[in-house]
Structure 1
Amino acid sequence: MTDVNFAMCDKLIFEVHFKDCILDFSKFYALKMKGTTFTNTSLVAVDFMSTNLTEVLFSNCDLYRSEFEKAIADKADLNTKQ
Protein backbone atom coordinates (compact mmCIF):
# COMPACT_ATOMS: atom_id res chain seq x y z
CA MET A 1 0.00 0.00 0.00
CA THR A 2 1.48 3.33 -0.95
CA ASP A 3 0.14 6.87 -0.75
CA VAL A 4 -2.67 5.97 1.67
CA ASN A 5 -4.28 8.86 3.54
CA PHE A 6 -4.86 7.32 6.98
CA ALA A 7 -5.68 10.83 8.28
CA MET A 8 -9.14 10.38 6.77
CA CYS A 9 -9.91 7.41 9.08
CA ASP A 10 -12.27 7.71 12.04
CA LYS A 11 -10.02 9.09 14.77
CA LEU A 12 -12.08 7.59 17.62
CA ILE A 13 -11.51 3.98 16.63
CA PHE A 14 -8.19 4.27 14.78
CA GLU A 15 -5.69 1.57 15.81
CA VAL A 16 -3.21 -0.10 13.48
CA HIS A 17 -0.03 -2.19 13.59
CA PHE A 18 2.14 -2.86 10.54
CA LYS A 19 4.56 -5.68 9.79
CA ASP A 20 6.45 -6.27 6.51
CA CYS A 21 4.62 -3.42 4.73
CA ILE A 22 5.38 -0.71 2.22
CA LEU A 23 3.59 2.49 3.25
CA ASP A 24 5.68 4.97 1.26
CA PHE A 25 4.15 8.46 0.75
CA SER A 26 1.27 7.74 3.16
CA LYS A 27 -0.24 10.28 5.55
CA PHE A 28 -0.86 9.93 9.28
CA TYR A 29 -1.29 13.68 9.81
CA ALA A 30 -2.60 14.64 13.29
CA LEU A 31 -3.62 11.10 14.30
CA LYS A 32 -3.27 9.64 17.80
CA MET A 33 -1.12 6.56 17.28
CA LYS A 34 -0.03 5.78 20.85
CA GLY A 35 1.54 2.32 21.07
CA THR A 36 1.46 1.59 17.34
CA THR A 37 4.14 -0.78 16.03
CA PHE A 38 5.87 -0.61 12.66
CA THR A 39 8.04 -3.69 12.02
CA ASN A 40 10.13 -4.21 8.86
CA THR A 41 8.16 -1.44 7.18
CA SER A 42 9.12 1.06 4.48
CA LEU A 43 7.90 4.54 5.46
CA VAL A 44 9.64 6.67 2.83
CA ALA A 45 8.36 10.28 2.74
CA VAL A 46 5.50 9.58 5.15
CA ASP A 47 3.67 12.51 6.79
CA PHE A 48 3.69 12.16 10.60
CA MET A 49 3.30 15.92 11.16
CA SER A 50 1.32 16.82 14.32
CA THR A 51 0.87 13.10 15.05
CA ASN A 52 0.93 11.68 18.57
CA LEU A 53 3.62 8.97 18.35
CA THR A 54 3.85 8.31 22.10
CA GLU A 55 5.36 4.85 22.77
CA VAL A 56 5.40 4.00 19.05
CA LEU A 57 7.93 1.38 17.96
CA PHE A 58 9.71 1.67 14.61
CA SER A 59 11.61 -1.63 14.35
CA ASN A 60 13.81 -2.04 11.27
CA CYS A 61 11.98 0.67 9.33
CA ASP A 62 13.05 2.98 6.51
CA LEU A 63 12.03 6.52 7.53
CA TYR A 64 13.90 8.28 4.72
CA ARG A 65 12.47 11.78 4.13
CA SER A 66 9.54 11.25 6.53
CA GLU A 67 8.17 14.41 8.17
CA PHE A 68 7.86 14.66 11.96
CA GLU A 69 7.25 18.41 12.42
CA LYS A 70 5.23 19.10 15.61
CA ALA A 71 4.89 15.35 16.27
CA ILE A 72 4.81 14.13 19.88
CA ALA A 73 7.27 11.26 20.26
CA ASP A 74 7.47 10.69 24.03
CA LYS A 75 9.01 7.27 24.74
CA ALA A 76 8.93 6.42 21.01
CA ASP A 77 11.57 3.95 19.81
CA LEU A 78 13.05 5.29 16.56
CA ASN A 79 16.04 2.95 16.66
CA THR A 80 15.75 1.59 13.14
CA LYS A 81 18.34 -0.89 11.87
CA GLN A 82 19.24 -1.46 8.26
Structure 2
Amino acid sequence: MRRPSTRKPAKALARPDYFPPENVLTRALPPALVGLREFEQFHFIGFDLSQANLAGRRFTDCRFENCNLAGATLADAGLQNVAFDGCKLLGLQFTACRDLLFGVHFDRCQLDYASFAGKQMANTRFEGCSLREADFANTDLTNAVFADCDLPDTVFENTKLAGTDFRTARHLQLDPALNQIKGARFALESLPGLLTKFGLLVE
Protein backbone atom coordinates (compact mmCIF):
# COMPACT_ATOMS: atom_id res chain seq x y z
CA MET A 1 0.00 0.00 0.00
CA ARG A 2 1.34 3.40 -0.95
CA ARG A 3 1.81 5.70 2.03
CA PRO A 4 2.40 9.45 2.21
CA SER A 5 5.99 10.47 2.82
CA THR A 6 7.16 12.06 6.06
CA ARG A 7 8.54 15.17 4.36
CA LYS A 8 7.52 18.54 5.77
CA PRO A 9 4.52 20.05 3.94
CA ALA A 10 5.41 22.51 1.21
CA LYS A 11 4.28 26.10 1.38
CA ALA A 12 1.22 27.07 -0.62
CA LEU A 13 1.99 27.81 -4.26
CA ALA A 14 0.92 31.08 -5.82
CA ARG A 15 -1.54 30.51 -8.65
CA PRO A 16 0.05 31.08 -12.05
CA ASP A 17 -1.22 34.42 -13.36
CA TYR A 18 1.29 35.62 -15.95
CA PHE A 19 1.46 34.20 -19.46
CA PRO A 20 3.31 35.67 -22.45
CA PRO A 21 0.74 36.73 -25.08
CA GLU A 22 2.01 34.13 -27.54
CA ASN A 23 1.37 31.42 -24.93
CA VAL A 24 -2.34 32.21 -24.51
CA LEU A 25 -3.99 29.58 -26.71
CA THR A 26 -7.63 28.95 -27.56
CA ARG A 27 -9.10 25.54 -28.46
CA ALA A 28 -6.11 24.05 -30.30
CA LEU A 29 -2.33 24.04 -30.43
CA PRO A 30 -0.76 25.81 -33.39
CA PRO A 31 1.04 23.34 -35.69
CA ALA A 32 4.46 24.47 -34.47
CA LEU A 33 3.64 23.31 -30.92
CA VAL A 34 1.94 19.99 -31.62
CA GLY A 35 5.02 17.91 -30.79
CA LEU A 36 6.08 19.96 -27.78
CA ARG A 37 6.66 17.92 -24.60
CA GLU A 38 7.26 20.72 -22.09
CA PHE A 39 4.99 23.72 -21.56
CA GLU A 40 5.92 26.62 -19.30
CA GLN A 41 3.65 29.61 -18.61
CA PHE A 42 0.94 28.53 -21.05
CA HIS A 43 -2.74 29.44 -20.73
CA PHE A 44 -5.04 26.92 -22.44
CA ILE A 45 -8.62 28.11 -23.02
CA GLY A 46 -11.50 25.94 -24.21
CA PHE A 47 -9.43 22.92 -25.24
CA ASP A 48 -11.11 19.54 -25.71
CA LEU A 49 -8.50 17.10 -24.43
CA SER A 50 -10.90 14.33 -23.45
CA GLN A 51 -9.19 10.94 -23.77
CA ALA A 52 -5.97 12.74 -24.82
CA ASN A 53 -2.63 11.08 -24.18
CA LEU A 54 -0.66 13.53 -22.04
CA ALA A 55 1.71 10.88 -20.72
CA GLY A 56 5.20 12.15 -20.08
CA ARG A 57 4.41 15.79 -20.85
CA ARG A 58 5.36 18.49 -18.38
CA PHE A 59 3.34 21.59 -17.53
CA THR A 60 4.91 24.29 -15.37
CA ASP A 61 3.12 27.46 -14.19
CA CYS A 62 0.23 26.77 -16.59
CA ARG A 63 -3.52 27.31 -16.49
CA PHE A 64 -6.31 25.28 -18.07
CA GLU A 65 -9.53 27.30 -18.34
CA ASN A 66 -12.88 25.80 -19.39
CA CYS A 67 -11.12 22.73 -20.78
CA ASN A 68 -12.34 19.14 -21.00
CA LEU A 69 -9.69 16.62 -19.90
CA ALA A 70 -12.08 13.83 -18.94
CA GLY A 71 -10.40 10.47 -19.32
CA ALA A 72 -7.05 11.93 -20.36
CA THR A 73 -3.94 9.82 -19.68
CA LEU A 74 -1.56 11.41 -17.16
CA ALA A 75 1.01 8.64 -16.70
CA ASP A 76 4.33 10.26 -15.72
CA ALA A 77 2.96 13.71 -16.62
CA GLY A 78 4.46 16.62 -14.72
CA LEU A 79 2.04 19.11 -13.17
CA GLN A 80 4.16 21.77 -11.50
CA ASN A 81 2.02 24.64 -10.22
CA VAL A 82 -0.88 24.13 -12.62
CA ALA A 83 -4.31 25.75 -12.21
CA PHE A 84 -7.56 24.27 -13.49
CA ASP A 85 -10.49 26.70 -13.74
CA GLY A 86 -13.96 25.55 -14.79
CA CYS A 87 -12.59 22.29 -16.19
CA LYS A 88 -14.11 18.84 -16.65
CA LEU A 89 -11.64 16.41 -15.08
CA LEU A 90 -13.81 13.33 -14.64
CA GLY A 91 -11.93 10.18 -13.67
CA LEU A 92 -8.45 11.66 -14.02
CA GLN A 93 -5.69 9.61 -12.39
CA PHE A 94 -3.61 12.37 -10.85
CA THR A 95 -1.97 9.65 -8.80
CA ALA A 96 -0.12 8.61 -11.99
CA CYS A 97 1.56 12.03 -12.33
CA ARG A 98 5.18 12.57 -11.38
CA ASP A 99 5.61 13.26 -7.70
CA LEU A 100 8.43 15.76 -8.26
CA LEU A 101 7.16 19.31 -7.60
CA PHE A 102 3.53 18.19 -8.05
CA GLY A 103 1.32 21.22 -7.39
CA VAL A 104 -2.24 21.97 -8.53
CA HIS A 105 -5.11 24.41 -7.94
CA PHE A 106 -8.79 23.72 -8.68
CA ASP A 107 -11.60 26.26 -9.11
CA ARG A 108 -15.14 25.26 -10.22
CA CYS A 109 -13.98 21.90 -11.60
CA GLN A 110 -15.73 18.57 -12.04
CA LEU A 111 -13.42 16.08 -10.34
CA ASP A 112 -15.84 13.20 -9.85
CA TYR A 113 -14.10 9.78 -9.71
CA ALA A 114 -10.63 11.37 -9.88
CA SER A 115 -7.79 9.76 -7.93
CA PHE A 116 -5.14 11.59 -5.92
CA ALA A 117 -4.12 8.53 -3.92
CA GLY A 118 -0.68 8.87 -2.36
CA LYS A 119 0.01 12.40 -3.61
CA GLN A 120 1.68 15.21 -1.65
CA MET A 121 -0.95 17.98 -1.73
CA ALA A 122 -0.41 20.05 1.39
CA ASN A 123 -1.98 23.53 1.11
CA THR A 124 -3.89 22.63 -2.06
CA ARG A 125 -7.07 24.63 -2.56
CA PHE A 126 -10.27 23.21 -4.05
CA GLU A 127 -12.96 25.83 -4.58
CA GLY A 128 -16.48 25.20 -5.85
CA CYS A 129 -15.60 21.69 -7.04
CA SER A 130 -17.54 18.44 -7.33
CA LEU A 131 -15.52 15.50 -5.97
CA ARG A 132 -17.98 12.62 -5.98
CA GLU A 133 -16.14 9.35 -5.19
CA ALA A 134 -12.75 11.02 -5.59
CA ASP A 135 -9.94 9.04 -3.95
CA PHE A 136 -7.63 10.69 -1.40
CA ALA A 137 -6.38 7.50 0.26
CA ASN A 138 -2.84 7.91 1.65
CA THR A 139 -2.77 11.53 0.46
CA ASP A 140 -1.15 14.41 2.33
CA LEU A 141 -3.78 17.17 2.47
CA THR A 142 -2.28 19.05 5.40
CA ASN A 143 -3.75 22.58 5.52
CA ALA A 144 -5.69 22.00 2.30
CA VAL A 145 -8.97 23.85 1.73
CA PHE A 146 -12.23 22.43 0.37
CA ALA A 147 -14.24 25.63 -0.09
CA ASP A 148 -17.85 25.18 -1.22
CA CYS A 149 -17.06 21.67 -2.48
CA ASP A 150 -19.37 18.68 -2.83
CA LEU A 151 -17.84 15.47 -1.40
CA PRO A 152 -20.36 12.61 -1.64
CA ASP A 153 -18.65 9.23 -1.13
CA THR A 154 -15.22 10.83 -1.37
CA VAL A 155 -12.56 8.46 0.00
CA PHE A 156 -10.39 9.60 2.91
CA GLU A 157 -8.35 6.73 4.33
CA ASN A 158 -4.95 7.05 6.02
CA THR A 159 -5.10 10.66 4.83
CA LYS A 160 -3.20 13.53 6.44
CA LEU A 161 -5.87 16.12 7.19
CA ALA A 162 -4.18 18.18 9.91
CA GLY A 163 -5.41 21.75 9.56
CA THR A 164 -7.57 20.92 6.54
CA ASP A 165 -10.55 23.26 6.14
CA PHE A 166 -13.88 21.51 5.48
CA ARG A 167 -16.10 24.24 6.94
CA THR A 168 -18.03 24.93 3.73
CA ALA A 169 -17.82 21.41 2.26
CA ARG A 170 -20.99 19.38 1.73
CA HIS A 171 -21.76 15.66 2.09
CA LEU A 172 -18.49 14.98 3.89
CA GLN A 173 -18.02 11.53 5.40
CA LEU A 174 -14.78 10.33 6.95
CA ASP A 175 -13.68 8.09 9.77
CA PRO A 176 -11.65 10.05 12.36
CA ALA A 177 -10.02 6.79 13.47
CA LEU A 178 -8.57 6.13 10.01
CA ASN A 179 -7.24 9.62 9.30
CA GLN A 180 -5.03 12.26 10.88
CA ILE A 181 -7.43 15.12 11.61
CA LYS A 182 -5.75 17.12 14.37
CA GLY A 183 -6.56 20.79 13.81
CA ALA A 184 -8.92 20.09 10.89
CA ARG A 185 -11.86 22.50 10.72
CA PHE A 186 -15.46 21.40 10.28
CA ALA A 187 -18.84 23.09 10.33
CA LEU A 188 -21.38 21.88 12.86
CA GLU A 189 -23.46 20.58 9.94
CA SER A 190 -20.61 18.17 9.08
CA LEU A 191 -20.81 16.38 12.42
CA PRO A 192 -23.10 13.56 11.18
CA GLY A 193 -20.55 12.68 8.49
CA LEU A 194 -17.91 12.12 11.17
CA LEU A 195 -20.15 9.81 13.19
CA THR A 196 -21.41 7.52 10.42
CA LYS A 197 -19.31 4.52 11.52
CA PHE A 198 -20.84 4.68 15.00
CA GLY A 199 -24.42 4.44 13.71
CA LEU A 200 -25.38 7.61 15.58
CA LEU A 201 -28.12 9.99 14.52
CA VAL A 202 -27.69 13.73 15.01
CA GLU A 203 -31.01 15.57 15.01
Q: Confirm or deny a common fold (TM above 0.5).
A: yes
Distance 1:12 1:62 in 2: 28
1:28 aligns with 2:116: yes
Q: 1:71 aligns with which of 159, 174, 182?
A: 159
Q: For 1:16 and 1:77, how far apart are their aligned partners in 2? A: 17
Q: Which residue of 2 aligns with 1:9?
A: 97
Q: In the alignment, is the contact (CA less than 8 A) between 2:151 and 2:169 conserved in 1?
A: no
Report % sequence identity: 35
In the alignment, residue 99 of structure 2 is paired with which amino acid? K
- Paired position in structure 2 for 1:42: 130
Q: How much has 1:25 moved relative to structure 2?
A: 0.1
The structure whose residues are more often helix, as a share, is 2
Under a length normalisation based on structure 2, what TM-score does the superposition of the two structures give?
0.40
Kindly state the Cα deviation for residue 79 of structure 1 after the two structures are TM-superposed. 1.5
Give structure 1 regions of 4+ aligned residues with deviation exceeding 2 angstroms. Answer: none
Q: What count of residue pairs does the alignment treat as equivalent?
A: 82
Tell me the distance in 1 between the aligned counterparts of 2:164 and 2:136. 13
In the alignment, structure 1 residue 18 sits paired with structure 2 residue 125? no
AA aligned to 2:157 is E
When normalised by structure 1's length, the TM-score is: 0.96
> RMSD of aligned C-alpha atoms?
1.0
Aligned equivalent of 1:54 = 142
**Structure showing the higher strand proportion among its residues:** 2
Gapped regions of structure 1 (runs ≥ 5): none
Cα 1:79–1:31 shift into 2, 3 Å: same
Deviation at 1:81, TM superposition (A): 4.7
Q: 2: distance between equivalents of 1:73 and 1:53?
A: 5
Aligned partners of 2:167, 2:137: CA distance in 1, in Å?
A: 19
Give the 3-state SS of the residue equivalent to 1:62 in structure 2. Answer: coil
